Amino acid sequence: DVKVTQSSRYLVKRTGEKVFLECVQDMDHENMFWYRQDPGLGLRLIYFSYDVKMKEKGDIPEGYSVSREKKERFSLILESASTNQTSMYLCASSLVSYLNYGYTFGSGTRLTVV
């Protein structure tokens, strides 16, 4: 019954490393999103994609990039990991419809940068 899958639950990376977070959805959703979640700050949008190869910056894109080569897969890339990118990362997807159905979230990836 799993619909949005994030490849790792926990990751520990070193400062300066290039980090890839993968997300796959099996619901044929057009929209996919990457959020980070920090205590007291809620969910903040990093990037979203509304179609294959299309992407838009969210509220906090600095230090991140994304890739969407296939409809079902949306990757978040930390070009050079820094300690302030230690966070919970959540991937979500949604259907484009005049009847809004909300986001489906993955289980999250807790990233620690040391």
Partner 1 sequence: GESVGLHLPTLSVQEGDNSIINCAYSNSASDYFIWYKQESGKGPQFIIDIRSNMDKRQGQRVTVLLNKTVKHLSLQIAATQPGDSAVYFCASDPGTYKYIFGTGTRLKVLA
Name the residue nearer to partner 1 (CB basis): 45 or 77.
Answer: 45
Structural tokens at position 44: 């903040």
Query: Of 42 and 83, which has the nearer Cβ to partner 1?
Result: 42
Using CB under 8 A as the criterion, what x/- string covers residues 8-37 for binding partner 1? -----------------------x-x----
The site for partner 1, by CB under 8 A, has a size of 25
Element holding 109 (H helix, E strand): strand 109-113
List of residues 6+ apart from 109 with CB closer than 8 A: 6, 7, 8, 9, 10, 11, 21, 88, 89
Q: Are 73 and 27 in contact (CB under 8 A)?
A: no
Q: What is the per-residue DSSP string for 54-98?
A: EEEE-S--TTEEEEEEETTEEEEEESS--GGG-EEEEEEEE---S
Residue 16: CB minimum distance to partner 1, A: 27
Closest approach, Cβ 60 to partner 1, in A, equals: 13
Question: Of 13-21, 43-51, 64-72, 73-81, which part binds partner 1 (CB under 8 A)?
Answer: 43-51
Residues in the site for partner 1, rule: CB under 8 A? Answer: 4, 6, 31, 33, 40-43, 45, 48, 50, 58, 90, 94, 96, 100-108, 110
